[in-house]
Amino acid sequence: MPAILLLAAGSSSRLGQPKQLLPYAGKSLLRRAAETAVAADLGPVIVVTGALHEELLPELDGLPVTVTHNLDWARGMGSSIKAGLVAADALGPVTSVLIMLCDQPLITPELLRYLQQAQQQSPLPIMATAYAGTSGVPVLFAPQMVPLLRAMPDEAGARQLLHQHPEWIATVAFPAAALDVDTPAQYAWLLQQAPAGPAH
């Protein structure tokens, strides 16, 4: 069973406001991503916070997730991945690892489950999501990849492993994963697509 690492440590400098707290269809992006991870029912969900730790905690109220505060979040995504792995270790042996972000609101529990199913049937150790001509997150790393995640530089990220070892990657096509929220224009476009949702 994979540990799911939901990375939410950044300061959203390009956006100018905390993307984790942006509302979409009645819920914050962080709440939506955490609920998606929990609903996938694959294994423990570890939410890695950083710059906005205290502000994000209320968004996770009532969810069966483990929150870990990465004090070194500014050093890069690699530091958050490693902090998440340390938190996962405390819950039991870590086998595979699924990494996801909170700014891809169209990701579904079904996609996360399918990544695991596809990886189990693949001889390749990385099962990534394919969209917009690239391979990226959410991405599932098989057990033999976990030591590489633990050893990655703080400033690196999951994408660096994907770039370094394309021969290790299989993919699942999910075009909607291309929608992320890094700029005000992207968020404005997202809101135009949003279904109605209850207030959170």
Q: Residue ranges of the domains in the chain?
A: 3-193
Residue 168 is classified by DSSP as G
pLDDT at 159 over 70: yes
pLDDT of residue 195: 62
Token pair of 85, please? 């792995």
Region 30-49: what's the mean pLDDT?
Answer: 98
Q: List all residues 6 or more positions away from 128 whose beta carbon is below 8 Å from its beta carbon.
A: 135, 136, 137, 139, 140, 162, 169, 170, 171, 172
Categorize the per-residue pLDDT at 85 as very low, low, confident or very high, splitting at 50, 70 and 90. Answer: very high
Q: State which fold the 3-193 domain adopts.
A: Spore Coat Polysaccharide Biosynthesis Protein SpsA; Chain A (3.90.550)
pLDDT at 86 over 90: yes
Q: Give the closest residue to 12 by CA, choosing from 45, 68, 55, 46.
A: 55
pLDDT of residue 12: 76
Point out the least confidently predicted range of 65-69, 179-183, 191-195.
191-195
pLDDT at 196 over 90: no
pLDDT of residue 115: 98
pLDDT at 143 over 90: yes
Region 57-82: what's the mean pLDDT?
Answer: 98
pLDDT of residue 198: 44
* Share of residues in the chain with pLDDT > 70 (%): 96
CA distance 42 to 102: 17
Region 76-87: what's the mean pLDDT?
Answer: 97
Categorize the per-residue pLDDT at 47 as very low, low, confident or very high, splitting at 50, 70 and 90. Answer: very high
Mark out the alpha helices in 105-151 (DSSP H runs): 109-120, 146-151
* Global confidence as pTM: 0.94
pLDDT at 176 over 90: yes
| The pairing of beta strand 66-69 with beta strand 45-49 | parallel
Q: Give the closest residue to 158 by CA, choosing from 183, 186, 126.
A: 126
Categorize the per-residue pLDDT at 199 as very low, low, confident or very high, splitting at 50, 70 and 90. Answer: very low
